[in-house]
Each structure stands twice: as C-alpha cells, then as structure tokens.
Amino acid sequence: MLTSLGLGGDGDEIDAIEDVEREFGIALDKADAPHWLTVGDVYQSLLKALPEPARQDSIIWPRFCAAICQQTGADGTRVSAATLLI
C-alpha cells in the first residue's frame, strides 16, 4: 500500500479534490478540509456529500481512488484509507 499520494501542497491537492468532485458530481464540504490528512478523511467527506442510495454502491471506493490519484499518477489500487495526502 502507498504511504502517501504525494500531493505537495503546491495546489495539486486542490486539483485532486476538484477531480473527486467532478467524478461524483458533488461538492465536498470545505469546512472538513482542515481535517483531511488521509485519503480516508476525504472519502468520509465524499460519503457525507453523496445521497444515501449512492453510498451503497460497491464501486465508490475504486472510482474515488482513481479520481484522487489523477494529479500525482499514483496507482489507485495501492491506496488505502490510511494513505497520507501529502
């Protein structure tokens, strides 16, 4: 598993969040952002933003991982909830 996505704090983390929002057609609650240290933290915000039926879809995690990895080119299949963003 990856220990870090490698988002460097140079704006690519904002682009990664926007990639997730575009993928799912939602807006994440930016009030949660100060607590986003890991991929799992952002994923929890995604689940809160999705309507209830969509939260049960089994492909949410792989779609989310692919979206959040676009900026760094990290392998989304090697991402866990504990993977650090930076």
pLDDT at 8: 81
**Share above pLDDT 70 across residues of the chain, in percent, rounded to a whole number:** 100
Does residue 45 have a pLDDT over 90?
yes
What average pLDDT does this structure show over 10-34? 95
**Domain presence at residue 43:** yes
**Share above pLDDT 90 across residues of the chain, in percent, rounded to a whole number:** 87
**Domain presence at residue 4:** no
Does residue 9 have a pLDDT over 80?
no
**Domain presence at residue 37:** yes
Q: How confident is the model at residue 36 (pLDDT cuts 50, 70, 90)?
A: very high
**Domain presence at residue 70:** yes
In this structure, are residues 54 and 60 in contact, taking their beta carbons and an 8 Å threshold?
yes
In this structure, are residues 47 and 56 in contact, taking their beta carbons and an 8 Å threshold?
no
**Domain presence at residue 83:** no
- If you compute the radius of gyration of the chain from its CA atoms, what whole number of angstroms results? 12
What average pLDDT does this structure show over 49-62? 93
Q: Find all residues with CB under 8 Å of 57, minimum gap 6, and list them.
A: none
Domain residues for the domain of 35 are 12-78
The count of structural domains within the chain is 1
The 3-state DSSP class for residue 84 equals strand
**Domain presence at residue 2:** no
